[in-house]
């Protein structure tokens, strides 16, 4: 066997095959199958949420920050994506569709097609100005936050897989005591 196969089987036996043999009040077979997926799903979901938050804040939020910087708060002060230097496909798509960004960045005229986004003028309504500024503020740690979150989620995944059988055993003991 090569080294990676040994590492895989060691991690699988140590972390992802919890010993639930002493549990009497729960279905341990289903729990052993489901618990690793639950923990991995929670950790992966947390990581993906941070990545999505970074994408919205950093990339799509450029439009809001640029309009805010140029003080485009009314249709008279509206700017095009070319004027902002942000005429990019993903930004155009987010402004055309009903997205988080399009709730705060409004076109001066209704958009009839995707091509209209290229030439449309956009602004942030005065009522949404404060919320847009707070919601799309640049993430301070940026990419470092994603890396930190990845490692925190990785260690949390292994830690939860070590602790969760003990927590389930504790719950099983409490149920046994209340029955008796």
Q: Is 18 inside any structural domain? A: no
Q: What is the pLDDT of residue 1?
A: 63
The number of domains in the chain is 1
Q: Is 17 inside any structural domain? A: no
Q: Give the residue-averaged pLDDT of 45-66.
A: 91
In sequence order, what are the residues at sequence separation of 6 or more whose Cβ sits closer than 8 angstroms to the Cβ of residue 118? 81, 82, 87, 92
Q: How many CA atoms lie within 13 A of 115 on its CB side?
A: 0
pLDDT for residue 15 is more than 70: no
Question: Distance between CA atoms of 67 and 84, rounded to whole angstroms?
Answer: 8
Tokens of 24: 């009497």
Q: Is 73 inside any structural domain? A: yes
Q: How confident is the model at residue 164 (pLDDT cuts 50, 70, 90)?
A: confident
Task: Please state the φ and ψ torsions of residue 80, each to the nearest 5 degrees.
Answer: -90, 165
Q: What is the pLDDT of residue 179?
A: 84
Distance from the first to the final alpha carbon of the chain: 50
Q: Is 1 inside any structural domain? A: no
Q: Give the residue-averaged pLDDT of 111-137.
A: 89
Q: How confident is the model at residue 67 (pLDDT cuts 50, 70, 90)?
A: very high
Q: Which domain holds residue 119?
A: 26-135+143-179
Q: Is 173 inside any structural domain? A: yes
Tokens of 142: 């940026």
Residue (of 56, 58, 20) closest to 36 by Cα position: 20
In sequence order, what are the residues at sequence separation of 6 or more whose Cβ sits closer than 8 angstroms to the Cβ of residue 157? 39, 40, 43
């Amino acid at each position: 066997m090569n080294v990676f196969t040994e590492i895989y089987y060691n991690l699988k036996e140590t972390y992802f095959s919890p010993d639930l043999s002493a549990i009497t009040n729960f279905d341990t077979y289903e729990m052993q199958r489901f618990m690793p997926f639950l923990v991995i799903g929670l950790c992966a979901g947390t990581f993906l949420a941070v990545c999505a938050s970074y994408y919205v804040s950093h990339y799509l939020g450029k439009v809001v920050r640029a309009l805010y910087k140029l003080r485009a708060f009314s249709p008279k002060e509206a700017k095009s994506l070319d004027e902002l230097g942000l005429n990019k496909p993903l930004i155009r798509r987010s402004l055309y569709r009903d997205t988080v960004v399009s709730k705060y960045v409004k076109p001066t005229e209704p958009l009839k097609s995707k091509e209209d986004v290229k030439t449309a003028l956009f602004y942030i309504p005065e009522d949404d100005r404060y919320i847009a500024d707070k919601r799309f503020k640049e993430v301070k740690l940026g990419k470092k936050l994603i890396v930190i979150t990845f490692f925190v989620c990785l260690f949390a995944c292994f830690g939860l897989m070590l602790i969760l059988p003990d927590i389930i055993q504790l719950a099983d003991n409490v149920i046994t005591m209340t029955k008796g």
